[in-house]
Amino acid sequence: MVTPSQNPSATLPPAVQIRDVSFAYNGKPALHGITLDIPARRITALIGPSGCGKSTLIRSINRINDRIPGACLTSGSIRIHDIDIYRRDINLQELRRRVGMVFQKYNPFAKSIYDNVVYSLRIAGVRNRGELDAVCENALRAAALWDEVKDRLHASALGLSGGQQQRLCIARAIACEPDILLLDEPCAALDPLATLKIEELLSELKQRFTIVIVTHNLAQATRCSNHTAFMYLGKLVEYGATRQIFDKPINPQTEAYITGSFG
Amino acid sequence: MTRPAMIHPENMIRKGLPQGYFKDVMARVLLGGVSYLIVLVAVLLFAKIIIDGAPGLLTPRFPYVDTEFLTAKNETLHVFDDARGNRHQLPASQYNEYINSHPGESVYNEQTFSYSGGGIAGPIAGTALLTVGAMILALFFGVSAAIYLAEYAKQSPFIHLVRLAILNLAGIPSIVFGLFGFSVFVLAVPILTATPADRSLWTIPLPACHQVISFQGWNSSLIAGCATLACMILPVIITASEEALRAVPQGFRDASLAMGCTRWQTIRKCVLPYALPGILTSSLLAITRVAGETAPIMFTAAVAAKDDLPWQGLANPFAILSSQVQALPYHIYTLAARIPSSEYTRRAQYGSVLVFLLLVALLSAGSMVLRAKMRRKLKW
């Protein structure tokens, strides 16, 4: 079993326990026996070449993969705070409120900035204007967007720049108070400056949330993550503290990937 | 010796006419000629209607538009000479007044023309009611089916078959829809009644309320016509709605579901609002078909002559659904096929067609403007 070589969050139990998980799309396997503990209140990065199963893994943590026809967990279990999230009687809506997600392509609704942030609260039936305002401000502050948009909360979210739109999506995700935040290549469509802002934001957010981030950008993984998992061909090759993975990788495949001589 | 980069470049300059020059010109002239011939036919057609129909709508007197033609009931036209030799053209009601107010005078050379007097308020109102009713039914059923097909249904061979069946529905001749509507909505659908008709196909007694469910149909009525027209445009609405739903970015659904919304919450809050403009504008195109079809309403809803406007003389507001109505396309058919054409009937004949075409043009233009506006407003 692969475990972090050092565990700085030893005081907290792991937020997500992935045990021997195999996943298949229409019978075509995408993940093979992944076992991984994601520590609470830390940033865990998933790296690896395209098609290695990073996105499948992260998308199976909030079961958003369920909506893909033919996608299913073929073996193993994923436990969040000791609850198996693939048991039959799980409340999917509650699970997804606890496990927020931000997607690769920023996808704010074609509504106002305000309406985007309070969307989940409105769905939950919150009508109190004061409460909505407070949540909106807090979420936007947490996403480091408040100062930029406070004067135009009721303007369309689509008028924002790409980086702002992605931070709005983060604000929208944290407005429903999740415990775990999944980010699927959140900076893939952004320029370096916007990327930097999101990275700064993430190091702030890890005080409050357990963060899992999929990234193609190795520098990003070194800059902002505490732990890194390298995946290849649907298997977990190596998992450990980010510094160890990048400085002294144990597995030769990991070394080949991070030095760019993969082949 | 090295090979030159290009051998005989001067061969690229043509001598004389290009190859196949005459065939090319012939093809262009022929194809162009056919196209412009079609345009010419369309122009002549519209010119004929406008030139002949405008007098029905425009009078030399202020306010220039003949409001009587648009607002009066349809009546029989009486044409006669009075004792002093003046020629009169009066619709039936005014003719009766004239006779009553001139007792003892005789009229000469009297002729009557059915459906040619008064105005076309009845057919206009009937068409409006049929259109609104059919659109409400078609939108409800069509959008529901489209949401299921686009959002819920898995892409199985059976669903493909369903979609194919819906598309095929679009190719069925409208007269077949008329006959279908007649045999189903007029003669067979169940109604709740105390006294079932003799021709009822089947009755289920409900002892609790002393009534029976009788499969005897709605008779020829507004609701039967609306249902038949709705069936006819369902494929258009379903296909257009499905396309509009699919045009909503997948990211909206992902984001909404990832925040713990149910499927239906997602559809209602962040799919339908963005698909609705597309659905409505495409549906406006279907309106012109609903307003314009004659065959589906011939057996199911339309009557040639009716004394009252649709909302007059009703026992209760819901009785309007079970009453027959006049309709513009059917009125045009009646005027064209059932009465002889003469100088006195032309006003009604061409005027009705002109009003009808203006109505359809208005709806089409409206849908185009609306579509352009929505497109500009909704971008992602």
Residue B376 burial class via C-beta count within 10 angstroms: exposed 0-12, middle 13-18, buried 19 and up = exposed
In B, minimum Cα distance to A121 occurs at B259
Break chain A into its structural domains and give their ranges: 16-109+177-258
In this structure, what are the phi and psi dihedrals at residue B115, rounded to the nearest 5 degrees? 60, 0
Q: pLDDT at residue B141 above 90?
A: yes
Instruction: Express each pLDDT in B49-79 by its tens digit.
Output: 888 888 777 776 666 667 788 888 888 888 8
Nearest to A100 among B258, B262, B265 (CB): B258
Write phi, then psi, for A207 (nearest 5 degrees): -60, -30
Query: d(Cα B45, Cα B67) in Å, to the nearest integer?
Result: 25
Strands (E), A130-247: 180-184, 210-214, 227-232, 235-241
pLDDT at residue number B63: 62
> A64 and B265 in contact by Cβ < 8 A?
no
CB atoms within 10 A of CB A131: 12
State how far the Cα of B326 lies from the Cα of B294, in Å rounded to an integer. Answer: 11
pLDDT number for residue A4: 47
CA distance A178 to chain B (A): 9
Query: B230 — phi, psi (to 5°)?
Result: -65, -40
Of A97, A108, A110, Cβ closest to residue B259: A97
Query: Closest Cα to residue A65, out of A238, A196, A188, A182?
Result: A182
Nearest CA distance, B261 vs chain A (angstrom): 6
| AA identity, residue A19 | R
Average pLDDT, chain B: 87
Are B48 and B58 within 8 A, CB to CB? no
CB atoms within 10 A of CB B341: 11
Say what the pLDDT of residue B132 is.
Answer: 92
Q: Which two tokens stand for residue A4?
A: 């972090």
ipTM given for this complex? 0.86
Give the type of residue at A102. Answer: V
| A148: nearest Cα among A134, A165, A173 | A165
Q: Which of A96, A122, A135, A170 to mutate to test the interface with B (most CBs of B within 10 A)?
A: A96
First to last CA, chain A: 26
Query: Does the beta-carbon distance from B270 to A64 stay under 8 Å?
Result: no
DSSP letter for each residue of A47-103: E-STTSSHHHHHHHHTTGGGGSTTEEEEEEEEEETTEETTSTT--HHHHHHHEEEE-
What lies within 8 Å, CB to CB, of B265 at 6+ separation is A123, B256
Structure tokens at B369: 């403007």
Name the percent of chain B lying above pLDDT 90: 35
CA distances from B46 to A189, B20, B354, B358, B364 (A): 55, 39, 9, 11, 16
Q: Shortest Cα distance from B364 to chain A (angstroms)? A: 28
> Which residue numbers of A have CB closer than 8 Å to B's CBs?
62, 64, 67, 69, 92-97, 100-101, 103, 105, 107-110, 119-120, 122-123, 158, 169, 172-173, 176
User: How far is the C-alpha of B203 from the C-alpha of A49, rounded, in Å?
Assistant: 69
Q: Could B249 and A67 be called an inter-chain contact, meaning their C-beta atoms sit closer than 8 Å?
A: no
Q: Do B258 and A169 touch (CB under 8 A)?
A: no
State which CATH number among 3.40.50.300, 3.90.650.10, 3.30.360.10, 2.40.30.110 fits the domain covering A16-109+177-258.
3.40.50.300
Give the CB-side neighbour count of residue B171, counting CA atoms within 13 A: 5
Q: Which residue of B has its CA nearest to A91?
A: B260
The strand pairing partners of B87, in sequence order, are B81
Distance CA A108, CA A118 (A): 12
Which residues of chain B approach chain A closer than 8 Å at the C-beta? 154-155, 249, 251-252, 254-262, 265, 269-270, 274, 378-380
In angstroms, the CA B116 to CA B96 distance is: 16
> Where residue A119 falls among pLDDT bands split at 50, 70, 90?
very high
d(CA A251, CA A258): 11
Give the DSSP per-residue string, B54-69. HHHHB-SSTTSB-HHH
* CB within 8 Å: B259 and A169: no
Band of residue A204 on the pLDDT scale cut at 50, 70, 90: confident
d(CA A220, CA A202) in angstroms, rounded, equals 11
Contacts with A103 from chain B: Cβ below 8 Å: 251, 254-255, 258
Residues in CB range of A50: below 8 A, 6 or more apart: A216
Tell me which chain A residues have a C-beta less than 8 angstroms from the C-beta of B262. 93
- Gap from B260 CA to chain A (nearest CA, Å): 4
Cα–Cα nearest to B218, from B205, B231, B200: B200
Element (H, E) at A17: strand A16-25
Please say if the pLDDT value at position A187 is more than 80: yes
Mean pLDDT in residue range A44-56:
90
A94 → chain B, closest CA residue: B260
Dump the DSSP string for B265-327.
Answer: HHHHHHTHHHHHHHHHHHHHHHHHHHHH--HHHHTTTB-S--SS-TTSS-SSGGGGGGS-B--
Residues of A in contact with B251 (CB under 8 A): 103, 105, 107
Of A5-9, B11-15, B40-44, give the range with the top mean pLDDT: B40-44
Q: Which chain B residues touch A169 with a CB distance below 8 Å?
A: 255
Least confidently predicted of A235-244, B10-19, B35-44, B238-247: B10-19
State pLDDT tens for residues A62-111.
999 888 888 888 999 999 988 999 988 989 889 999 999 999 888 999 88
Q: What is the pTM of this model?
A: 0.81
B243 has pLDDT over 50: yes
Which chain B residues are closer than 8 Å to A95 by Cβ? Answer: 260
Q: How confident is the model at residue A1 (pLDDT cuts 50, 70, 90)?
A: very low
